[in-house]
Chain A
Amino acid sequence: AQRVTQPEKLLSVFKGAPVELKCNYSYSGSPELFWYVQYSRQRLQLLLRHISRESIKGFTADLNKGETSFHLKKPFAQEEDSAMYYCALLSGYSTLTFGKGTMLLVSP
């Protein structure tokens, strides 16, 4: 069965520190993975997807099939990065299975 695991409920860092939000998945096929973000009082929105191999707002994520991971990274955290982050796996035709989310708090 497909599963997405985000082991940290809360990650607290100082501004300028590196950030890594962990995501591990379980899926028998070829995975399609996404990161979604929800800023305070805003709707949930797509941050990035692995097939695009893009960097959005300084964040990157690399799919590691050997470790079944899709960790989200940013070299220097900013206060405006504080938000709830969800890792998601395409688990069926157009349906996503989400992890439980990690709250990132960036302190000045």
Chain B
Amino acid sequence: DVKVTQSSRYLVKRTGEKVFLECVQDMDHENMFWYRQDPGLGLRLIYFSYDVKMKEKGDIPEGYSVSREKKERFSLILESASTNQTSMYLCASSRDSGVSPLHFGNGTRLTVT
């Protein structure tokens, strides 16, 4: 069974802090994704990666960056956290196939005060 692990379930950070959200998958999946989930807005894609050291912007990349130095790990970075980045962040992975399902982590609920 695929396991996608997000390092923190809850995080509280202050405005202006640099924040790292970590995600690890154990199934050798090529693709990894970061979404944010907000009530009434659904899931919105922030960034994704098809391979190591490769990244692509999603629909809402502003204020975020990512890093993929190893195949199993995909990090989301908030360079200078702001209150409008308070959200639930979901990491997902999938095999390198268009219709391969996404496997999600449990999510990290980030609060920026």
Chain B residues close to A by CB (< 8 Å): 4, 31, 33, 35, 40-45, 48, 50, 58-59, 90, 92, 94, 96-107
Contacts and interface: CB of A to CB of B under 8 A. Distances in A.
B42 A100 contact: yes
A21 B35 CA distance: 23
A57 interface: no
Nearest to B29: A94
Contacts of A46: 101-102
Given A43-B4, A94-B97, 6 more contacts: A45-B103, A49-B99, A94-B50, A94-B98, A95-B45, A96-B102
A45 B97 CA distance: 17
Interface of A: 6, 9, 32, 34, 36, 43-46, 49, 51, 86, 90, 93-101
A51 B99 contact: yes
A95 B40 contact: no
Contacts of B102: 36, 46, 96
Contacts of B98: 32, 90, 93-94
B101 A94 contact: no
B33 A86 contact: no
Nearest to B95: A94
A44 B99 contact: no
Given A93-B50, A95-B48, A49 B101 contact: yes
